[in-house]
Amino acid sequence: MLLALAVLSGAARLLGEVAQRFRQPAVLGELLAGVLLGPTVFGAVAPQWQAWLFPAAGNNAVVLDAISSLAIVLFLLVAGLEVDLSVAWRQGPTALKVGLLGTTIPFGFGLAAAWLMPTALGRQADADPQIFALFLATAMAISALPVIAKTLMDLNIYRTDLGMVVVSAAIFNDLIGWTVFALILGMIGRQGATLAVATTVALTLFYAAAMLTAGRSIVNRALPLLQAYTQWPSGALGFIVTLGLLGAAVTEHIGIHAIFGSFLVGVALGESRHLQERTRMMLEDFVSIIFAPVFFASIGLRVNFAAHFQAPLVLAVLALACVGKLIGAYFGARWGGMSTRDRWSVAFAMNVRGAMEIILGLLALEARLISEELFVALIVMAIVTSAAGGPLIRWSMRKRQRLRLSSTTSPRLFKRALAASTRFEVIHELAELAARSADIDRARIEALAWEREKIAATGIGNGVALPHARVAGLASPIVAAGLSHVGVDFDAPDGQPAHVIFLLVTPLENATAQLDLSANIAELFRRPHATEHVLRSANYIEFLAALKMLAPKGCEV
Amino acid sequence: MLLALAVLSGAARLLGEVAQRFRQPAVLGELLAGVLLGPTVFGAVAPQWQAWLFPAAGNNAVVLDAISSLAIVLFLLVAGLEVDLSVAWRQGPTALKVGLLGTTIPFGFGLAAAWLMPTALGRQADADPQIFALFLATAMAISALPVIAKTLMDLNIYRTDLGMVVVSAAIFNDLIGWTVFALILGMIGRQGATLAVATTVALTLFYAAAMLTAGRSIVNRALPLLQAYTQWPSGALGFIVTLGLLGAAVTEHIGIHAIFGSFLVGVALGESRHLQERTRMMLEDFVSIIFAPVFFASIGLRVNFAAHFQAPLVLAVLALACVGKLIGAYFGARWGGMSTRDRWSVAFAMNVRGAMEIILGLLALEARLISEELFVALIVMAIVTSAAGGPLIRWSMRKRQRLRLSSTTSPRLFKRALAASTRFEVIHELAELAARSADIDRARIEALAWEREKIAATGIGNGVALPHARVAGLASPIVAAGLSHVGVDFDAPDGQPAHVIFLLVTPLENATAQLDLSANIAELFRRPHATEHVLRSANYIEFLAALKMLAPKGCEV
């Protein structure tokens, strides 16, 4: 059991990292890890070993199952925490319109398709056709709020009006989507249930309403008390997790799925202005580092993706999902009075699916509502839309990818202890590093940087200086970095000498590279004690690690 | 399952908080939560409900079991991280002597007692007497490093020479104790094992040696690379957890218990100077907030503490454990050349048991080595020694309990917006609050504080001022706090006006109260942006919560 968990979480984290390296959501890599370790690859190559490590039945399977359910419950608790109803409210009519059309139109498409050709779309023979249709409609309609939020943050448009409209619409979408889906699950999983469907629906709506009114205000009052009178952060975190599990238990007893309960607890909590950002981030880290990788990787263990991959079905689901969502969101944005360009950006953003579709599909598979073929198609759809989301939004906004500092540095471009004691000498030393690694003339870089430096000194304060040279014909931007323990005067506004100096050498033709890099670096050194922290680096590896640690959440180096 | 987990974790956190409020380790409250929810109390009052919520068999029990094992593995990973071999090394001979005698003498006592009267001490009829004797000896010898460290930190002597000797001796103790115990477990749990005991012993020692040499240096090289080239902190954390699980899996395959593997991984990692303090703290929080409460509470579920409580046995175990450990550690300290007073402090500190004895007992119980009566006795022993540790050390060092700020403030002693614009007016306003709540004359406090203020202004910088008055005949210290958004000049060394002002009113007879409070407050406001953070508080509750958040790890408000 321990070995299985170790292999699963290790592989998932590793491939999650690789995915993020390629600016893709981590969930992609985590899914892939499961596919590699599951029947699709590992099972095909060495079936006995695979069955030994990940047995399909017995205590191990039960435990892995339980950890997965716990992971989904906690995942939706965190997803709920990201839902800020007051933000959605402030965006008002536009967000509501996008949310409304962006939900109902794909829902309608899904419903129609499921009624017209249920078997082709992978309905299980013994599944109720109405419930199947409702499921497919929901699967087409639901967005993935966390992935959307992450994509927008990567593009640095999360806090813009456009970003807020998309997020608000997605919040609306989530609330509706999960309520409908919880009801669907309530309708199928009721062998031996004592409550009638109507009662379940009534109780569900009652729970949702209670959570969003009374629950919200109780939580809003309890949180500051907890933070004042218990240990920080364990008191508040323990309370949130316990409440999430309780909510999950309540909805499960009502007869709908546990996730809906923890999701609404998250929504009720997320809105409280007393919820400290640090508490929220800690919980998010808990879940995204320990639970989520195991969960998403375990998906790959359940199904043989190669055997159940049906190209026509995958394409049909993909087309159905994208067309419905794009049309809905586009016309919603038009109705809300947005420009054509913004409409497309909104539509592409709303089209991003991810973790949510996967959870949805998994629950439907477990409830024997859909075939494994449809499950595979849904997962492929989720992967494709979330991978394509970022590039498509960027394209529609004609926005370039932000340059990251780490892609322009290298061990050869780093000097641990600068010998220089003046600005000119620093530039001389760093220009030499840059010249060696970019194969251009040192004197040219030096002259350009010095010329720029003479116009206005480039000390930006907090012990950092950013001299720069824009060189014609340079292939790609390079940054030479050096540490000076004694400090060199770069005439910074705060009067402090510079200890960490970056020489930015960017192509003359690329007007934005220098801005990107300066912004990136300035962001890092806004933290208190950042310079001391970086100065402690003994080599390039430690230097890079120190920079990573300084990056605020959502900002990448 | 979800409900059971919610109830368990909620109750455990709640009682853990209560225990900490009384300056006791959280584990005490967590254990108590289990006792209340288990057969001892809840089961005795409402057996059907108890059996429904926490069934003794079936999938739920399997899952709870698995979560417990996972919790122990992670708990020992974190315990291993706290082991810093280089610290132990620096303390040299004294620590070694304390560790040596503090381990072997209680071990000898335990061995002798188990041989002389095995049945009276609760050996299971079918258990091997030699293995039982080894187990009891280990249980008497092992200390609880995390609880010891926490106790020393609470007393503010962790970083002193005395503290370091104790911690180093406990590290030594842990290494020996867990190695022996792992071997014992290896010797019992070998139905159908293919390896001979000698092979297991050899492999165990090989694993330990490899981990502490090659493993250490590999980890030391891998960590900075991970921190530089993966997302922070998820890359490093994922790596640590995966490695811990892998280590656990390896030792389990060797035939000894999983915990030894993760413990040694922790030791190998804990020593790396590249392990960032923040990464370590995050992992510690993961485990202590989510896993540890569930684990310790689940202990109470297993055994009926009332039915298996045998006073003579409990007293015998308690006496055996304390006498052996105290004698061993005392003479070890004497051998190391410490003063009589220090010898007692060291002995009392080494006598602290806790989580480790409980884990040890649980594994022995599961291996059917000990009776439930002995298990209960071991747990009581762990609880008593860890609860008594702090007071006993304090007594031997003649050290008083540090005054906490939060015990001297109250909603009535807080003013959100001071009207004052001068030092004198601020003191006037705050003295009024203090006078009302302590029933002394306002004018008297005001005069004393102002007299003190005239000698030297009490602005301490960072926007904080600490005017104070020492009043004869005051029952207990009180602190009146006020916020000033405009700021009042208190002649601080950094020239900043004071925004957060605490008027410390302490008894004339209590010379240290004012020092304690000033030190406590100064510690909080050393953080950057502390004053802005506190100024945002809308009422007393938020003010207290803000102060809690500012407290550095290990410092309590």
Section B215-224 average pLDDT: 86
> Which of B190, B170, B189, B188 has its CA nearest to residue B178?
B170
Section A467-487 average pLDDT: 90
Measured between alpha carbons, how far is B166 from B168 in angstroms, rounded to an integer?
Answer: 5
- Which residue in B has a C-alpha nearest to residue A551's C-alpha? B232
pLDDT surpasses 50 at B191: no
Instruction: Please indicate whether, in this complex, the C-beta atoms of A249 and B2 are within 8 angstroms of each other.
Output: yes
Whether residue B237 lies within 8 A of chain A, CB to CB, comes out as yes
Q: What is the pLDDT of residue A555?
A: 65
| B235-279 pLDDT per residue, tens | 788 888 899 999 988 888 877 777 778 888 988 888 777 777 778
In three-state secondary structure terms, B56 is coil
The DSSP result for B81-98, as a single string, is HT--HHHHHHHHHHHHHH
Chosen from A21, A62, A72, A289 to mutate, greatest number of chain B CBs within 10 A: A289
Least confident of A368-382, B95-109, B184-198, B406-420: B184-198
Q: What is the pLDDT of residue A109?
A: 92
| Per-range mean pLDDT, top range of A187-201, A229-243, B183-197 | A229-243
A contacts of B286 (beta carbons < 8 Å): 286, 290
Whether residue A281 lies within 8 A of chain B, CB to CB, comes out as no
> Which of B471, B345, B501 has its CA nearest to residue B409?
B501
Q: What is the pLDDT of residue B192?
A: 45
Interface of A with B in 1-30 (CB under 8 A): 1-3, 5-6, 9-10, 13, 16-17, 20
Quote the tokens at residue A450.
């010095």
* Residue entry with tokens 């014992």: B184
Measured between alpha carbons, how far is A7 from A395 in angstroms, rounded to an integer?
Answer: 38
Q: What is the pLDDT of residue A155?
A: 73
Section B217-235 average pLDDT: 80
| B303-326 pLDDT per residue, tens | 888 888 889 999 999 999 999 999
pLDDT surpasses 90 at B282: no
Instruction: State ipTM.
Output: 0.78
Q: Are A115 and A358 in contact (CB under 8 A)?
A: no
Whether residue A214 lies within 8 A of chain B, CB to CB, comes out as no
CA-based angle B182:B290:A547, to the nearest 5? 95
| A253-300 pLDDT per residue, tens | 877 777 778 888 988 888 777 777 778 888 888 787 778 888 888 888
Instruction: Please indicate whether, in this complex, the C-beta atoms of A232 and B548 are within 8 angstroms of each other.
Output: yes
Question: Number of A:B CB contacts under 8 A?
Answer: 174
pLDDT surpasses 90 at A159: no
> Which of B81, B72, B549 has its CA nearest to residue B281?
B81
Section A84-92 average pLDDT: 73
| Burial class for B36, CB neighbours closer than 10 Å (0-12, 13-18, 19+) | middle
Whether residue A553 lies within 8 A of chain B, CB to CB, comes out as no
Using pLDDT thresholds of 50, 70 and 90, give the confidence band for residue B196: low
Q: What is the pLDDT of residue A89?
A: 75
Q: What is the pLDDT of residue A271?
A: 76
| A371-402 pLDDT per residue, tens | 889 999 998 998 888 888 888 888 888 766 67
Number of alpha carbons in the 13 Å side-chain half-sphere of residue A62: 13
> Which of B537, B525, B532 has its CA nearest to residue B462?
B525
Section A522-534 average pLDDT: 85
Q: Compare CB distances from B73 to A2, A16, A62 and report the shortest one's residue.
A: A2
Instruction: Please indicate whether, in this complex, the C-beta atoms of B238 and A289 are within 8 angstroms of each other.
Output: yes
- Which residue in B has a C-alpha nearest to residue A222's C-alpha? B541
- How far is residue A326 CA from its own chain's centroid? 21
pLDDT surpasses 80 at B529: yes
Percent of chain A exceeding pLDDT 70 equals: 96
Q: What is the pLDDT of residue B426?
A: 93
| A328-349 pLDDT per residue, tens | 999 999 998 888 888 999 999 9
Q: What is the pLDDT of residue A514?
A: 87
- How far is residue B227 CA from its own chain's centroid? 28
B contacts of A285 (beta carbons < 8 Å): 233-234, 237, 282
Measured between alpha carbons, how far is A241 from A247 in angstroms, rounded to an integer?
Answer: 10
Report the greatest alpha carbon distance in chain B. 84
B contacts of A232 (beta carbons < 8 Å): 545, 548-549, 551
Q: Are B261 and B207 in contact (CB under 8 A)?
A: yes
| B422-460 pLDDT per residue, tens | 999 999 999 999 998 878 888 999 999 999 998 888 998
Q: Compare CB distances from A6 to B228, B229, B242 and report the shortest one's residue.
A: B242
Q: What is the pLDDT of residue A191?
A: 47
Using pLDDT thresholds of 50, 70 and 90, give the confidence band for residue A16: confident
Instruction: Please indicate whether, in this complex, the C-beta atoms of A245 and B2 are within 8 angstroms of each other.
Output: yes
Q: Are A146 and A154 in contact (CB under 8 A)?
A: no
More confident residue, A261 or A59: A261
Instruction: Please indicate whether, in this complex, the C-beta atoms of A274 and B246 are within 8 angstroms of each other.
Output: no
| A168-223 pLDDT per residue, tens | 888 788 778 877 877 777 776 554 455 566 777 788 888 888 988 898 888 888 88
B contacts of A548 (beta carbons < 8 Å): 227-228, 231-232
Percent of chain A exceeding pLDDT 90 equals: 19
Whether residue B289 lies within 8 A of chain A, CB to CB, comes out as yes
Residue B191, by phi and psi: left (phi above 0), alpha (psi -120 to 50) or beta? Answer: beta
Whether residue A407 lies within 8 A of chain B, CB to CB, comes out as no
Could you count the other beta carbons within 10 Å of the beta carbon of residue B292? 26
| A411-464 pLDDT per residue, tens | 899 999 999 889 999 999 999 999 988 788 889 999 999 999 988 889 988 899
pLDDT surpasses 80 at B59: no
Using pLDDT thresholds of 50, 70 and 90, give the confidence band for residue A356: confident
Least confident of A133-137, A202-206, B33-37, B408-412: A202-206
Least confident of A338-342, B189-193, B369-373: B189-193
Instruction: Please indicate whether, in this complex, the C-beta atoms of B66 and A70 are within 8 angstroms of each other.
Output: no
| A305-332 pLDDT per residue, tens | 888 888 899 999 999 999 999 999 999 9
Least confident of A76-80, A120-124, A325-329, B349-353: A120-124
* Residues in contact with B270: Cβ distance below 8 Å, sequence separation at least 6, in sequence order: B80, B81, B82, B83, B84, B280
- Which residue in A has a C-alpha nearest to residue B527's C-alpha? A528
Give B423 to chain A, closest Cα distance, Å. 28
- Which residue in A has a C-alpha nearest to residue B244's C-alpha? A6
Task: Calculate the average pLDDT of chain B.
Answer: 84
Section B176-204 average pLDDT: 70
- Which residue in A has a C-alpha nearest to residue B73's C-alpha? A2
Section A152-165 average pLDDT: 77
Q: Are B553 and B281 in contact (CB under 8 A)?
A: yes
